[in-house]
Amino acid sequence: MGATQNAPDTSRSQFILIGMFAGMILGAACGFLFGERMSVVGWMGTLFLNSLKMIIVPLIISSMIVGITQLGDVRKIGSTGIKTLVYYLATTSIAVLIGIILVNIIRPGAGVDVTAVQPAQVIAAHDEGVLLHIIMSVIPPNLFKAMADMEILPLIFFSLLFGGVLTTMGKRSEPVIEFFVIVNEAVMKIIHLIMLFAPLGVFGLVAGKFADVGGGSAFMQELLKLGKYTLTVLSGLTIHSVIILPLILSLFARRSVRTYVANMASALTTAFSTGSSSATLPVTMECVEEKNGVSPLASGFVLPLGATINMDGTSLYEAVAALFIAQAYGIDLSLTQQVIIFLTSTLAGIGAAAIPQAGLVTMTIVLQAVNLPLEGIATILAIDWFLDRCRTTVNVWGDAVGAAVIGNTKELRQPE
């Protein structure tokens, strides 16, 4: 596929990146200082977000179909799929473990006042089994409804099936495959166009969010109230993203961490600004494929799936938050209960939708599993929007590292 043909010229993408950083810093500064008055620029963020969302459905369908049909042999899907799942599970488990260790050392919940919790704010509990829910959501009864609702798993399933079947049809399927190759190139070009607007979009998103939460002083108040908790989550996210994932990247993908992360910067900035792995997906794919040169096969396969089910940051945060709530309520958890938290947090990350603050909803799974009070969620609600953005950035970074690792396996390695 003409990935390199599409590569935007470096000076333009550097210009955009600098603009995005400036947009983020200026947005935070203006939102911090001027608070609610900055809601006047919120529309710029919404416009950027909507244009990213607009392109997700054609992007997933075309990149998945192109990826699968280029695999050559449909049987390779099986082993690539297994390796991808092993990567997801291994990295997510490491993240959760880091969270559990830190929360036991720092004990951020000890002494926190939970009497001010308002039960009205509590999020409804999950009734159905989460695993069954995930399995059932893979096959859509109506593909177009799944597209309209932007449900990514059914789209991935259909595209894999469609691409897989095309590979068994010999020469006759070539025009259809070529069609999707061109659709994929066109979609990438649209993403380049959308990125021209990214600096303003990021500015609008960040300033608009600070406006929503009442500006800098309101934010600082919440931050200080939950300072130790925030510190625990952020330390965990930092250890995972600055030590563990880079180690995996250099050991298993044999890549320079510095170059790889520098090329991912616009995706990571977008993740922080939008708080949504799925909205960031177009930018993640652009960075991974075009800037980092990971084979479109690997990125087309690993990234859409990863955006939906591989959430290292979210799972880490779920574990920290659950143990924080237990500490705040003075509930001592046994080792077995902590193991249950470890397992359910991993599951809750898989089950969380790739949209802002979805982790807060799946946290009920973790709390219910060890009988912790659901109203405990209200204690961490105020600061969640900020932590959501941080964990989303780590989620996207984990996906990007995964694409490089899987791209370096023998099935997907591109000929030199």
Q: Whole-angstrom Cα distance, residue 68 to residue 342?
A: 34
> Is there binding between residue 300 and ligand ASP (CB under 6 A)?
no
- Eight-state DSSP code of residue 239: I
Of the pair 125, 193, the CB lying nearest ligand ASP is at: 125
Q: Is 392 in the site for ligand ASP (CB under 6 A)?
A: yes
Under the criterion CB under 6 A, does residue 311 sit at the interface with ligand ASP? yes
Contact flags string 257-276 toward ligand ASP, x per CB under 6 A: ------------------xx
How many whole angstroms separate alpha carbon 103 and alpha carbon 15? 40
The encoded tokens of residue 208 equal 């608009």
DSSP 41: G
Given the rule CB under 6 A, which of 128-136, 162-170, 223-231, 349-357 is the region that contacts ligand ASP?
349-357
Is 346 a binding residue for ligand ASP by CB under 6 A? The answer is no
Judged by CB under 6 A, the residue of 69, 232, 395, 408 near ligand ASP is 395
By beta-carbon proximity to ligand ASP, the closer residue of 1 and 367 is 367
Stretch that binds ligand ASP, among 159-167, 259-267, 290-298, 384-392 (CB under 6 A): 384-392
Instruction: Determine if 241 is a binding residue for ligand ASP (CB under 6 A).
Output: no
CB 240 within 8 A of CB 369: no
- Neighbouring C-beta atoms of residue 389, cutoff 10 Å: 21
Which range, of 89-97, 144-152, 332-340, 387-395, touches ligand ASP by CB under 6 A? 387-395
Extract the tokens encoding 306: 């990863």
The residue nearest ligand ASP at its CB is 359
**Other C-beta atoms lying within 10 Å of the C-beta of residue 316:** 34
Q: Does 364 bind ligand ASP (CB under 6 A)?
A: no
Nearest to 281 by CA among 123, 124, 392: 392
Using rule CB under 6 A, residue 322 touches ligand ASP = no
Give the nearest distance from C-beta 355 to ligand ASP in angstroms. 6
Note whether 370 binds ligand ASP by CB under 6 A: no
Between CA 362 and CA 345 the distance in angstroms is: 9
CA distances from 380 to 120, 225, 344, 357, 384 (A): 14, 10, 19, 12, 6
Task: Examine residue 320 and tell whether it contacts ligand ASP (CB under 6 A).
Answer: no
* 393 touches ligand ASP (CB under 6 A): no
Q: State the minimum distance, in angstroms, from the CB of residue 264 to ligand ASP.
A: 15
332: left (phi over 0), alpha (psi -120 to 50) or beta: beta
Is 10 exposed, middle or buried, given 0-12, 13-18 or 19+ CB atoms closer than 10 A?
Answer: exposed
User: Does residue 359 touch ligand ASP according to CB under 6 A?
Assistant: yes
352 binds ligand ASP, rule: CB under 6 A: yes
- Residues near ligand ASP (CB under 6 A) are 275-277, 311, 314, 352, 354-359, 388, 391-392, 395
